[in-house]
């Protein structure tokens, strides 16, 4: 293993905690920033994130601070795990930290989804680089792959991809992530990997809804779910290539089909769970439309990134003239233009219109 590194993780949610635990367990000194005092209390005193990752014992090498400046200061690596809705505001808080201001720290991002901008949705690295000092332009790294936080925290074998325009930084992050339980590959398809990470959550919400219906259906089953997964992958690739992805094989890699598969099928999947809750608990009755859902996302009780990403994918698809049947269907569901069950029926009745 490489020499122990100093690492700051910005975000104390499940995924940030899971990866921080893997790095700490691998011998690195990891400090994590969390807004909530109770997260600091439980991690530092009981070595457990009881709020966001309960039931998983954490390494003594992992500590938490509620001071984001402290967490970013004197760190060789800074890993951004803030939700997309709060990404830019999080980064703005640390731009004056000396090792950030002079470009010493290597930045890697775990954040999934799109970030709203005045002239349309932005990708995660684009947002980070536009907020950080100019020296970071083209030098940040995006980390993705089939990686539920719970299994990463348990040390179960997980593969990741570190994508960057800067080959040296991609390799630095790749080597940092080669700790027990993790292995990592480099990629230069920064756009493709980010699109896969964001759009697969949208497909997973629809997959969860179908899965809930299939439990008591004579029509839908495993075959139907595989049809949806394949069609969803094609929509992700269509979107990715339209936005500038450089390698078609990105979509058949662990960043593409691998991450899509686990997000749709795993019991840990929050987007899958949200889709199931649309059917089983009528969770959408709490909200007037998609904008209301995004503005009051805390009412869900967990963060379904796919519901947020759905809005921005719809904007991009309209602007670029893309036909994305599954993504558009979820957009209509969340805006209450169509009921989930009616959309699933419509989707399968018009199977010839989805590219699988």
Kindly list the catalytic residues: 200
Per-residue b or e along 323-335, where b marks 16 or more CB atoms closer than 10 Å to that residue's CB: ebbbbbbbbbbbb
DSSP code, position 4: P
CB proximity list for 295: less than 8 A, separation 6 or greater: none
Q: Are 179 and 157 in contact (CB under 8 A)?
A: no
- For residue 317, the 8-state DSSP code is H
CA 152 remoteness from chain centre: 14
Question: With DSSP H G I counted as helix, E B as strand and the rest as coil, what are the percentages for the chain, rounded to 5?
Answer: 55, 10, 35
SS3 label, residue 49: strand
Length of the chain, in residues: 356
Q: Which helix (H) or strand (E) holds 133?
A: none
Long-range contacts, 34-37 (Cβ 8 Å, 24+): 34/64, 34/65, 34/66, 35/66, 36/12, 36/66, 37/66
């Amino acid at each position: 293993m490489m020499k122990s590194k100093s690492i700051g993780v910005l975000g104390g949610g499940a995924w940030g905690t899971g990866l921080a635990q893997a790095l700490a367990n691998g011998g690195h000194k990891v400090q994590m920033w969390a807004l909530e005092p109770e997260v600091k209390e439980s991690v530092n005193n009981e070595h457990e994130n009881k709020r966001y990752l309960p039931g998983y014992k954490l390494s003594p090498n992992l500590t938490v601070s509620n001071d984001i400046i402290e967490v970013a200061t004197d760190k060789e690596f800074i890993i951004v795990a803030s939700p997309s809705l709060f990404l830019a505001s999080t980064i703005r808080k640390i731009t004056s930290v000396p090792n950030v201001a002079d470009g010493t720290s290597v930045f890697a991002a775990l954040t999934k989804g799109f970030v709203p901008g005045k002239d349309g949705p932005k990708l995660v690295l684009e947002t980070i680089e536009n907020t950080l000092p100019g020296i970071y332009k083209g030098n940040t790294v995006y980390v993705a792959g089939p990686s539920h936080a719970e299994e990463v925290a348990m040390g179960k074998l997980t593969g990741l991809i570190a994508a960057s325009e800067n080959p040296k930084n991609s390799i630095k992050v790749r080597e940092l992530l080669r700790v027990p339980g993790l292995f990592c590959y480099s990629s230069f398809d920064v756009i493709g990997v980010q699109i896969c990470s964001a759009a697969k959550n949208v497909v997973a919400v629809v997959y969860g809804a179908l899965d809930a219906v299939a439990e008591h259906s004579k029509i839908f089953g495993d075959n139907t779910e595989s049809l949806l997964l394949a069609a969803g992958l094609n929509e992700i690739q269509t979107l990715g290539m339209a936005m500038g992805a450089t390698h078609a094989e990105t979509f058949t890699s662990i960043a593409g089909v691998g991450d899509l598969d686990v997000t749709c099928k795993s019991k840990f999947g929050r987007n899958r769970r949200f889709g199931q809750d649309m059917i089983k608990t009528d969770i959408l009755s709490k909200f007037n439309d998609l904008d209301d859902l995004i503005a009051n996302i805390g009412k869900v009780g967990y963060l379904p990134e796919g519901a947020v990403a759905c809005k921005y994918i719809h904007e991009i698809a309209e602007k670029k003239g893309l036909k994305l049947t599954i993504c558009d269907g979820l957009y209509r569901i969340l805006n209450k233009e169509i009921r989930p069950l009616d959309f699933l029926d419509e989707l399968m009745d018009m199977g010839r219109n989805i590219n699988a």
